Structure 1
Amino acid sequence: MTTASPDPVGFAYHRMARRTGRHRWWRPLLSTALFLPSWLLLILLLYAFSYAIGTAAGYPELPDGGVDLGPLRNTALDLMYIAITLPLILLAVRWTERRPAGTLSSVTGRLRFRWLAWCLLAALLPVTLLALTTVLLPDDGSSSGEPAAWVGVRSFLVSLAVLAVFVPVQAAAEEYVFRGWLIQAAGAFLRSPWFAVLPQAGLFASAHGWGTTWGFIDLLLFGLVAGWLTIRTGGLEATIALHTLNNLLAFGVSAAVVDGLSSDDTAADAPWQLALADMAIVLLYATIILRVARRHRPQRLAPEVAPPPAPPVPNLYPQPLVTPPPASMPRSYNAAAEWGGPSRTEVQESDL
């Protein structure tokens, strides 16, 4: 039977799968077998539902056979395809690994909302600098050269409201899958945090597709820094904050121009100028988070789980019951004399 292997002073985030002592080598495989088919099934159901609604409403068909619901609705649907992984991965951990789903959030077993708020504040400056850099970057020549048309205030605000609902869930879902589940699955076998961080970073970059070399390197660096921050701060809050604001910026910029949300470009397609700027912003954010963490000291390790108390051992040889004398009994009382035996005075006189 496999038992927990505790760290010297507690369990780091990447070792949380071993904290309860229920880890077995086959549990991550069972989680994968439960998670992936369930996700694909839900995607098919969502696709079929959207197709039925779109066809009934008279929306045109896309070249791939789907229904064109419009740029904003299509974007919301794409975000939902990713967002549904969040409850699925939490259920997979709870059912197959027999541990609280909150252990994916942090070493405290829950999402630390106060620390999340500090991380969001820390991400405001880097993301703002990235927005300014995006505006000031020269054209890489991929566009037609014509200025993008503004969509209008009403359409822009409606898009922002929809994105504000779906983007945070989508960003959090990616963090729970890559920085949460994959890091802890690798950390269950590998004590070194870097060996637990490396696989998820490569898978995270690959999941966005292969666009440009610089775009892939940018995503790989993000995965490495995000995984390192997750272990250093003991939870997903720091990476959820940066990922959410970064995606809101990217989708917000696309929503500001006509047909911007219709583009198929992802972060993997970033030109080298934007990729370098984004990598610098990620490193800046990591520096800020480390300084904030020194002041607010988020919990980095989970204490060991106390073993359950041992059941009481039955007494096979009970002692005879002895009735103590009443507390009000005089000090000269002799129990032997009371029950017919010689009194203490008689015993002393017989000795003489």
Structure 2
Amino acid sequence: MPTIAPLIPYHRLGRTVAHRWWRPAAGTALVLAGTIVLILLGVGLASVAAALAGRPENADGMPSFGPLADLALDFLLIAALLPPIFAAARWVQRRPAGTLSSVTGRLRLPWLLTCLPVAAVAVAVLLGGGVALAAATGEDVGLGDDLAGWGPFLAGSLVLVAVVPLQAAAEEYLTRGWLLQAVGSLCRGPWVPIAVQAVVFAALHGWGTPWGFADLILFGVVAGWLTVRTGGLEAAIALHVMNNLISGVLSAAYGSLYVEETAADMPWQLAVIDVPVLLAYAAVIVLLARRRRVATSYAHPVAVPAPVVERPLVSLGRES
């Protein structure tokens, strides 16, 4: 009898043989507590180092190495989510932490590298179309503002390249990874987990404008659907990284890198353009996933009884 291998979708990878109803909640508590501890530790160490170096205080009244260092620290503090998330999967849910990455148990780097240029084109179209629509509707898009200069631009861009991938990946592992699978362990279908993580993702960015909040929910839904549809976080990480990196580099060029705004403050012009861009990105990614035969589910082998082997009868007497 052949071995039976049921196919397990990405959002159900948290429901292992060790699953209990309380494990998703306990794991979420570990993620929150662990992240808070790491953030406090990081802020404390950075403040002590700045104080020992005789640095002045920033706008928050903390010793600081400057606005660019504060920006880098903020992004790294978001990345502090990663260790608690992996620990929650491994220690609380008792499964390999790599199952947060994909159905193969690891982050599929070749597939991620395939998604990155597609995401870059999508973000470029979004920003270009949004700026054009804003200008056409009489909004001041700031293209006539003074440039920051090569020094600040290069310094800001280098910092962004170093920290944005970690920050964006951490947000994806939290929402499209941990939350999607935690809720998915309690729900058979994918749409409730997708909806829950999308709302949480939008809320974590603040309420902002109605347009911006709605667009964040749409981003979360599309990224969550792609995660389930392609069996991993790669497509979502690629889009998130390119969105933050390209928009951040553009802000660095105009010296507005330190403006305290999030995607929740997005104007309606960008939100309107973002809808078809997100849908087009999803369509292209699904097409590429089919052509490259990207694994979309995990084949979990189930033990079956060993076949019965008929042994030849042995005569108790001598052969003649």
**Normalising by the residue count of structure 2, what TM-score does the alignment of the two structures yield?**
0.88
The percent identity for this pair of structures is: 49
Give the conservation status (yes or no) of the 8 Å contact 2:50–2:65. yes
User: Which of 239, 245, 250 is 2:247 aligned to?
Assistant: 250
Amino acid at match of 2:172: E
The question of 1:211 aligning with 2:208 is answered yes
Once the two structures are superposed, the pairs formed by residues 91-110 of structure 1 within 5 Å of their partners are 91-110=87-106
Change (3 A) 1:59 1:275: farther
Cα offsets for 1:295-349 (capped at 9, x unmatched): 1121111012434989xxxxxxxxxxx9998xxxxx86xxxxxxxxxxxxxxxxx
Shift of 1:161: 1.6
Cα offsets for 1:202-237 (capped at 9, x unmatched): 000000011100000010000001111110101101
d(CA) in 1 for partners of 2:11, 2:62: 40
Amino acid at match of 1:296: R
**What stretches of structure 1 move > 6 A for 4+ residues in a row?**
140-146, 322-325
Change (3 A) 1:143 1:49: farther
d(CA) in 2 for partners of 1:137, 1:84: 37
d(CA) in 1 for partners of 2:108, 2:157: 26
d(CA) in 1 for partners of 2:153, 2:317: 88
The question of 1:126 aligning with 2:115 is answered no
d(CA) in 2 for partners of 1:256, 1:40: 33
Amino acid at match of 2:277: I
**Larger Rg computed on CA atoms:** 1
User: Which of 30, 33, 40 is 2:36 aligned to?
Assistant: 40
d(CA) in 2 for partners of 1:308, 1:154: 66
Partner of 2:22: 26
Amino acid at match of 1:110: R
Moved more, 145-154 or 232-241: 145-154
Cα offsets for 1:239-278 (capped at 9, x unmatched): 01111001101211111122x1221000001111112222
Shift of 1:28: 1.1
Partner-residue secondary structure (3-state), 2:8: coil
The question of 1:222 aligning with 2:224 is answered no
5+ residue gaps, structure 2: 307-314
Shift of 1:124: 2.7
Partner of 1:4: none
Change (3 A) 1:132 1:142: closer
The question of 1:296 aligning with 2:292 is answered yes
Partner of 1:240: 237
Amino acid at match of 1:244: V
Partner of 2:283: 287
Once the two structures are superposed, the pairs formed by residues 263-342 of structure 1 within 5 Å of their partners are 263-307=259-303
Amino acid at match of 2:235: A
Aligned length: 308
Higher relative contact order structure (alpha carbons within 8 Å, sequence separation ≥ 6): 2
5+ residue gaps, structure 1: 1-6, 311-321, 326-330, 333-352
